[in-house]
Amino acid sequence: MPQRTVYFVSDGTGITAETFGNSILAQFSAKPRHVRRPFIDSAEKALQVVQEINETGVREGKRPIVFATLVNREVLGIVRSQCQALVMDMFGTFIEPLEEEFQVKSNHRVGRFSDVARSQEYHDRIEAINFSLAHDDGQSARNLDQADVILVGVSRCGKTPTSLYLAMQHGIKAANYPLIPEDFERAALPSLLQPHKKKCFGLTIDPDRLSQIRNERRPGSKYAELVNCHYEVREAETMMKRAGIAWLSSTHKSIEEIATTILRDIRPDRLIY
Amino acid sequence: MPQRTVYFVSDGTGITAETFGNSILAQFSAKPRHVRRPFIDSAEKALQVVQEINETGVREGKRPIVFATLVNREVLGIVRSQCQALVMDMFGTFIEPLEEEFQVKSNHRVGRFSDVARSQEYHDRIEAINFSLAHDDGQSARNLDQADVILVGVSRCGKTPTSLYLAMQHGIKAANYPLIPEDFERAALPSLLQPHKKKCFGLTIDPDRLSQIRNERRPGSKYAELVNCHYEVREAETMMKRAGIAWLSSTHKSIEEIATTILRDIRPDRLIY
């Protein structure tokens, strides 16, 4: 099957073009080649990328698809007029109706991330990452009262990546705390968590999947054994149910989906800003 | 000034709608209120969110703006026909021309993240997060040969968040290694890094900013003193220059911008997939 290439062209990082373009492409079964071309912020760079795109089209015998998030008018003009490609001008398409709605002209600022590095919001994100790292896997009980969320669950159910994602993308101070066999023997939530039950959120996982993940880490260990995984998951779920902690299964969910559910369920305020 | 609200409505996480909507809104100086409404995947939920949106419009005296990434046709139909709002139908707008280009109908799959949790790509992302955590701040010298990138620089210049971002968003195994006063006295790159120079990338930072950040952590310490920060930054830059390591300054850059530059400069292959 002939190859076809999709370009994400931006005068910023191109992350927006790529995120949005990929979610549109997910609607098609075709698997084109993806190329991101960030920081295309001058006529010279525009001409270079246009040449690359046009050569690709000739080579593949199919015109490329270009998702463009270009604020720079000159660059956008070159890409629109000279690319032998299907150009999806993502900003232009939506900015005009918004200018009409707001009754103001847009200010052509390049990049969603420009100048953010010194903003309070950015500072809070970095602080949240530091907090989540310091409170990974129950490492520290200090300042748990400052946590926005405390993820609980058995070892290797997805707590760490979810905490880091919540911190990095949403500036959420997300601690995570493992539930371990000793807790199950005592049949009680770790005492450190007792005062913070309201901000606890549980993750669980299919025991077969857990066993598979643990076997990658410690092949053949009791820790990874299917029967042990069944035991731990069952005990953890019982404990969370008794403590009134909401939980979800990470088995078929990405960290993005888990994080969004947690926000919706225990910090709906953070979906409004 | 009257408030106005922007809604991000999706039958998935709404992350795409929010990312894209925000980069468009960044073109305007208005600062509307943001509300994300994820998982709107049934007629019932659609009617509920439409009611919320319409009530908001009445209360604020300005019609809300709705960025919608809705694959579900029924939900999209309800939102489009019943919202008293400016509805930006992000999928519809771009999917039709693509259907024509590909000469196939789209398959209306909800959510860019659906079913990804068991894909190889997702597995690699999680592995990369684990790797980056294990190799944070020079913690481990094991398997450095497996790193895709090794970030170097003085303490608190932004290495850790950048490594985690590279891992989480791009599945890049990013180790990070601090340059410390002992290295400057020896006037040599840490010996562990010598065999891996080609995949090293440096971060530097404005000394005033560094002193400010370090003072938040350890107020009044020699570590945070401006004169010491000047010394460390100067020595680190000299060392990176001598070793032929490319670097950039994190002072005015977000982790997204830093990560994109690193990819472009030392792993351009990872912008193509």
**B170 CA: distance to closest CA in chain A (Å):** 11
Amino acid identity for residue A59 in this structure: R
Residue B158 marked in a binding site? yes
- From the candidates B256, B267, B270, which should be mutated to test the interface with A, based on the most A CB atoms within 10 A? B256
Q: Using pLDDT thresholds of 50, 70 and 90, give the confidence band for residue A243.
A: very high
Torsion of CA A244, A250, A253, A257, to 10 degrees: 40
List the single range of A110-119, A155-164, B232-241, B255-264 with lowest mean pLDDT: A110-119
Distance CA A49, CA A42 (A): 11
Distance CA B241, CA B254 (A): 23
From B190, B199, B196, B192, select the one nearest B149 (Cα to Cα): B199
A-B C-beta contacts closer than 8 Å: 202
CB contacts of B36 in chain A (<8 Å) are: 271-272
Please work out, in degrees rounded to the nearest 5, the angle formed at the alpha carbon of residue A159 by the alpha carbons of A156 and A162. 130
- pLDDT, tens digit, 9 for 90 and up, residues B158-182: 999 999 999 999 999 999 999 999 9
Q: Which of B15, B88, B257 is opposite residue A256, by nearest beta carbon?
A: B15
DSSP B202: E
Which residue has better confidence, A121 or A131?
Answer: A131
Average pLDDT in chain B: 92
From A154, A117, A262, select the one nearest A199 (Cα to Cα): A262
Percent of chain B with pLDDT over 70: 96
List of residues 6+ apart from B27 with CB closer than 8 A: A71, A91, A95, A98, A106, A107, A108, A109
Tokens of B80: 């489009």
pLDDT higher than threshold 90 for residue B76: yes
From B134, B148, B271, select the one nearest B199 (Cα to Cα): B148
Q: Which residue of B has its CA nearest to A92?
A: B24
Q: Using pLDDT thresholds of 50, 70 and 90, give the confidence band for residue B152.
A: very high
CB contact at 8 A, A259 and A169: yes
List of residues 6+ apart from A132 with CB closer than 8 A: A163, A164, A166, A167, A173, A174, A175, A176
For A193-226, the DSSP string reads GGGGGGGEEEEE--HHHHHHHHHHHSTT-TTT-H
The whole-number average pLDDT for the span B108-135 is 81
Q: Which residue of B has its CA nearest to A16?
A: B20
The whole-number average pLDDT for the span A55-70 is 95
Q: Which of A24, A118, A129 is opposite residue B91, by nearest beta carbon?
A: A24
Q: Which of A33, A39, A160 is opposite residue B272, by nearest beta carbon?
A: A33
- From the candidates B18, B204, B217, B260, which should be mutated to test the interface with A, based on the most A CB atoms within 10 A? B260
Tokens of A230: 């069944």
List the single range of A197-206, B14-23, B100-109, B264-273 with lowest mean pLDDT: B100-109
Q: Using pLDDT thresholds of 50, 70 and 90, give the confidence band for residue B110.
A: low
Q: Using pLDDT thresholds of 50, 70 and 90, give the confidence band for residue A139.
A: confident
List of residues 6+ apart from A268 with CB closer than 8 A: none
What pLDDT score was predicted for residue A113? 59
Q: Phi and psi dihedrals of A202, rounded to 5?
A: -100, 145
CB contacts of B114 in chain A (<8 Å) are: 257
Q: Phi and psi dihedrals of B216, rounded to 5?
A: -65, -35
What pLDDT score was predicted for residue A237? 97
pLDDT higher than threshold 60 for residue A36: yes
List of residues 6+ apart from A6 with CB closer than 8 A: A21, A25, A32, A33, A34, A35, A64, A65, A66, A67
pLDDT higher than threshold 60 for residue B1: no
Inter-helix orientation angle B120-134/A159-170, to 10°: 80
Q: Using pLDDT thresholds of 50, 70 and 90, give the confidence band for residue A104.
A: confident
CB contact at 8 A, B176 and B151: yes
Distance CA B172, CA B157 (A): 20
Q: Using pLDDT thresholds of 50, 70 and 90, give the confidence band for residue B128.
A: very high
For B5-32, the DSSP string reads EEEEEESS-SHHHHHHHHHHHTTSS---
ipTM (interface pTM)? 0.85
Distance CA A221, CA A218 (A): 6
Q: Mark yes or no for CB contact B33/A272 under 8 Å.
A: yes
- pLDDT, tens digit, 9 for 90 and up, residues A168-181: 999 999 999 999 99
Give CA A3 to chain center in angstroms.
Answer: 29
From B70, B60, B75, B8, select the one nearest B35 (Cα to Cα): B8
Distance CA A169, CA B74 (A): 30
Q: Which of B13, B90, B272 is opposite residue A256, by nearest beta carbon?
A: B13
CB contact at 8 A, B104 and A30: yes
CB contacts of B126 in chain A (<8 Å) are: 158, 161
